[in-house]
Amino acid sequence: MTRLLSIVLPLLFLAQAGCGSQPYPAGLAYPARTDPIVFQLPLNPPDGPPPAGKLDEFIAGLNDRGGRVLNPADLPAEQKAKLQEILGELFGTPAAPMVATGDDDGREHVERLRLLPDTLTAGSLLYKKFCLQCHGLTGDGRGPTGQWVYPAPRDLRQGIYKYVSSVGSAARKPTRADLHRVLIVGIDRTSMPPFTLLSDAEREQLVSFTIYLGLRGEVEYRILYGLLSQSDEMDDDLAVEARSLLRSALRQWVRADEERITPKMMPTPEDPNQRITEAHLESVRRGQRIFANTAVGCIACHTDYGRQARYLYDSWGSSVRVSDLTEGAYRGGKTPLDLFQRIHGGIGASGMPAATSLTEEQTWDLVHFILALPVPSMLPADVRGLVYPGK
């Protein structure tokens, strides 16, 4: 009996561990989007995070707080079926994902973004094994584990991201390198883990698949948004509209990969012990003055340097806590360049504006102040007195 168990038990474990890598059933289709869509956020900020497991109720509740959401359930059944059919034609299924653009430009973009069927099929399997429990089958951020963590896993549909280094407006797409970085280091002090044990090739397949879910979700989102808000800018033929939306989203993704926020100088000493020279401390001092300048605005949101908990609505209709910058935890990366890109480009999806009116030198002053802020001994005595009164 014990011998039998010693054979059967490991086999059971093997079967379990292998579960996640089982292919998807060929007949499985992506389900239609049913969760509420933000049309307009309320003017007054939220008091705190959504209650655990109640994200959709929280978003639907924006209607009662002066905002407005659109409900996909209001769509006539016929339009719903048509949309599902079009999405299936353009993007395939979890077992056989693809991006069908139907023209040469589109095909070139698909190749450049590495969205060919083989890569996507490999990415889809890895996603099932490592990401689905949080980010959900369609990338809606509502996987079985996802409902219970805060901040919620990213809703990858719509192709909106937070930690983006590309140049452009608040809604710009991330570069492939941005997405790859998130998979290597994870997101500090959230449940998003680092995937260090995967190979570079596997992470690249996951990046491709993430872009794919973003494209698919964005086409679905824009069509639902247009139909439910009765926009007259949509083509009457939904298939034509979907193809044109896909083409423009592909162009945005390609553009994002072309230019990153790149400062002309990199004045931060590599070694933190070198950050005590008079010239560096003078930069920290200027940084604090810029931060506390009400015309610049940092301090208005990061009240008391972020120690006071304040919340804003994010682009998905959930709420996000304004960072406590005395803690020294940075979700978008902790190198000086990461922080430069964050401040210069803003975190549009979280409501943090881009600080594009500041000069490069002023932005570096802010980076130097922020890097020193969590460690009172790194601050010049006069600044320490202002930030940590009594210390």
Helix (H) or strand (E) run with residue 110 in it: helix 104-112
> Residue 378's CB: how many other CB atoms inside 10 A?
19
Residue 323 sits in the site that holds ligand HEC (CB under 6 A): yes
User: Is it true that the peptide bond before 151 is cis, omega within 30 degrees of 0?
Assistant: yes
* Three-state SS at 52: coil
In angstroms, rounded to a whole number, what is the distance separating the alpha carbons of residues 319 and 48? 7
Binding string, residues 104-133; x marks residues near ligand HEC by CB under 6 A:
--------------------------xx-x
Nearest to ligand HEC of 91, 127 (CB atom): 127
Contact set for ligand HEC, span 190-219 (CB under 6 A): 190-193, 195, 206, 210
Query: Is there a contact between 182 and 163 (Cβ–Cβ < 8 Å)?
Result: yes
Strand boundaries in 12-59, DSSP class E: 37-40
Q: Contact with ligand HEC (CB under 6 A): which of 90, 110, 134, 215?
A: 134
Nearest to ligand HEC of 2, 169 (CB atom): 169
Nearest to ligand HEC of 12, 19 (CB atom): 19
Q: Tokens in use for 380?
A: 């010049």
Query: Is there a contact between 188 and 194 (Cβ–Cβ < 8 Å)?
Result: no
Residue 354: φ, ψ to 5°: -75, 140
What's the CA dihedral at 53, 351, 159, 80 to 10 degrees?
60
Q: Contact with ligand HEC (CB under 6 A): which of 109, 128, 154, 243?
A: 154
Nearest to ligand HEC of 183, 250 (CB atom): 183
Q: Contact with ligand HEC (CB under 6 A): which of 350, 364, 373, 378?
A: 350
Q: Which of 91, 331, 309 is nearest to 190 (CA)?
A: 331
Of 57-65, 182-190, 224-232, 377-385: span binding ligand HEC (CB under 6 A)? 182-190
Nearest distance from C-beta of residue 41 to ligand HEC, angstroms: 13
Residue 352 sits in the site that holds ligand HEC (CB under 6 A): yes
Nearest distance from C-beta of residue 239 to ligand HEC, angstroms: 29
Query: Is there a contact between 24 and 93 (Cβ–Cβ < 8 Å)?
Result: yes
Nearest distance from C-beta of residue 182 to ligand HEC, angstroms: 5
In angstroms, rounded to a whole number, what is the distance separating the alpha carbons of residues 174 and 150? 22
Of 62-70, 256-264, 273-281, 350-358: span binding ligand HEC (CB under 6 A)? 350-358
> Tell me, what amino acid is at 374?
P
Helix (H) or strand (E) run with residue 212 in it: helix 200-228
Contact set for ligand HEC, span 261-320 (CB under 6 A): 291, 296-298, 300-302, 312, 320
Residues that bind ligand HEC (CB under 6 A): 130-131, 133-135, 145, 149, 151, 153-154, 161-163, 174, 179, 182-183, 187, 190-193, 195, 206, 210, 291, 296-298, 300-302, 312, 320, 322-323, 325, 330-332, 339, 342-343, 347, 350-353, 355, 366, 370
